Amino acid sequence: MLIGRLDRLPRRLVPRDLEARPLYVTEAGATVGVRGGRIEVRTKDKQLSSVRLVDVSQVAVFGNVQVTTQALRECFAREVPVCYLSYGGWLQGISLGLPSKHVELRRRQVVVAASTALEAARRMVEGKIRNCRTLLRRNGRPAPDGSLITLADCAVSAATATTTASLLGFEGAAARVYFGALPTMLRPELSLPGMAFSFEGRNRRPPADAVNCLLSYVYSLLVKDLVATTHAVGFDPYLGIYHRPRFGRPALALDLAEEFRPLIGDSIMVNMINNGEARPSHFVVRAGGVGLTADGRKAVLGAYERRLDVEVTHPTFGYRITYRRVLEVQARLLGAWMLGEVPDYIAFTTR
């Protein structure tokens, strides 16, 4: 369909949404094991959970959680990634078994990163800016007209950027406008630690207010899923086409995350605050930074999984799939572009 090789439309294929879901383990000192085709999570004195292996798409463990060798072998056999994160949500490692057999994709990834990366990077940044504008237009109270106009102009400029440096400039200009208008999407009567809703912009390490705390945590979850997705498709997640490769930085996962930050991360933050899901008791203020409590992390994980289960119409293919599946579709579309199977990478945007 994308190549236009046939005069008629090809037979429509719809990717299936898998029923398996991630298993999150946040209990300090817990052990993840396997018995009788089920993953069991235990502490010394009790069993916390027992889930069928066929129902698990990913195991994410936070902090000091042990995973047995038997459980790892079963996960490897079923191509279930095991993700290790800090208590604060920073991705620290992934166990995947053998690497992908798709050697040609990784060869092309190296070539693209060194030559034609700007083509796809423009699409990604343009998609991100347009998604930011859509979220602001839908949720701003009221949506600031000047900001919407500026974001539209930045998206057009990003789509025609001639260098990576100019593309970074357009993205930075759009980010300043977007985060400057972000408080219009939040209920002004609410108050959370570190913030009386006087949001001053994006900050992190440590986040200085509850909004940035939520954004940092959800962005980390999104990057974690995209690292696993890029591995599964056959990419090297550390070789990016927009974010420069750097020691320890999953640059390609960060590239793919750009267009989904407003659609998944920012949307979750706005909904959690405005719906009262994010409560003052979910945050702790220490050493000038704001962090999440154990209950706060569980609340964010629940909101994140609900968002990934939302069905949307794919703007390119026209079928309805969940955001969880969209992440993989976009990664495969990027791979098809790198291999020369489709003429362009098309970013995911909503209207």
Phi and psi, residue 9, nearest 5°: -70, 140
Q: Determine the topology of domain 103-338 in CATH.
A: Four Helix Bundle (Hemerythrin (Met), subunit A) (1.20.120)
5 compared with 133, residue with greater pLDDT: 133
Q: What pLDDT, in 10s, does the model give residues 267-322? A: 999 888 888 888 888 888 877 778 888 888 889 999 999 999 898 888 888 888 88
Q: What pLDDT, in 10s, does the model give residues 211-231? A: 888 888 899 999 999 998 998
CATH H-level superfamily of 21-95: CRISPR-associated endonuclease Cas1, N-terminal domain (3.100.10.20)
pLDDT at residue number 198: 44
Q: Mean pLDDT check: name the lowest of 96-100, 228-232, 325-329.
A: 96-100
Give residues with Cβ within 8 angstroms of 226, minimum separation 6: 237, 250, 253, 254, 256, 257, 327, 331
Give residues with Cβ within 8 angstroms of 254, minimum separation 6: 223, 226, 240, 242, 243
Annotated domain spans of the chain? 21-95, 103-338
Amino acid symbol at 150: T
Name the nearest CA neighbour of 318 among 19, 3, 9.
Answer: 9
d(CA 333, CA 347): 9
pLDDT at residue number 293: 85
Q: How confident is the model at residue 193 (pLDDT cuts 50, 70, 90)?
A: low
Query: Is 50 exceeded by the pLDDT of residue 197?
Result: no
pTM for this model (two decimals): 0.84
Name the nearest CA neighbour of 178 among 141, 131, 219, 124.
Answer: 131
21-25 and 31-35 beta bridge pairing: unpaired
The tokens for 94 are 């992934």
The tokens for 41 are 């999570």
Helix (H, G, I), strand (E, B) or coil at 66: strand
Q: What pLDDT, in 10s, does the model give residues 2-53? A: 776 777 776 776 667 777 888 998 888 889 999 888 999 988 888 888 889 8
Query: Is 80 exceeded by the pLDDT of residue 236?
Result: yes
